[in-house]
């Protein structure tokens, strides 16, 4: 399943779902729901359908002018690294991992993202 979020660029929470219904009349949607009164989340059966939906929303509704329409990127596999010295900053952790692994560097250069979600530093000895 593939998801898309639609939210207003100006932060206003109103979103006319009828425009979405009309634009996606011929495109199968698994679900459409409002998320925290700030966005609409659409779920599609596959990537091809999701891409057709984004194209239809941008071209036929005029939503692209006032709304941000973006595909949800899934978080890639997570790893846990223990005993990170206190003096190493979270941004340095990413750089160190990239320097040690060319495959990760390549993925990042191709547009994938990598970030530290949580870090618990090692206690000083």
Model confidence over 75-124: pLDDT tens digits?
Answer: 667 777 878 888 888 888 888 888 898 888 888 888 777 888 777 777 76
**Residue 19, pLDDT score:** 79
Which CA distances in Å does 67 have to 12, 28, 63, 84? 10, 22, 5, 41
- Tens digits of per-residue pLDDT, 31-73? 988 887 778 889 999 989 999 998 888 887 777 777 788 888 7
Q: How many helices (H) and strands (E) does the chain have?
A: 5, 4
Which CATH architecture is the domain 2-71 placed in?
2-Layer Sandwich (3.30)
**Residue 97, pLDDT score:** 87
pLDDT: which is higher, 4 or 37: 4
Total number of residues shown for the chain: 125
Q: Where are the domains of the chain?
A: 2-71, 75-125
The closest of 52, 96, 59, 73 to 3, measured between CA atoms, is 73
- Tens digits of per-residue pLDDT, 9-31? 776 656 777 878 888 899 999 99
């Amino acid at each position: 399943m593939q998801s898309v979020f639609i939210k207003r660029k100006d932060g206003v929470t109103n979103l006319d779902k009828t425009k979405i219904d009309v634009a996606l009349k011929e495109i199968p949607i698994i679900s459409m729901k409002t998320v925290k009164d700030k966005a609409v989340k659409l779920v599609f059966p596959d990537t091809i359908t999701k891409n057709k939906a984004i194209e239809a929303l941008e071209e036929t509704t005029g939503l692209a002018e006032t709304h941000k329409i973006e595909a949800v990127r899934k978080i890639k596999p997570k790893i846990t690294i223990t005993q990170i010295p206190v003096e190493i900053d979270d941004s340095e952790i990413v750089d160190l991992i990239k320097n040690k692994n060319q495959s990760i560097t390549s993925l990042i250069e191709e547009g994938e993202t990598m970030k530290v979600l949580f870090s618990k530093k090692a206690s000083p000895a």
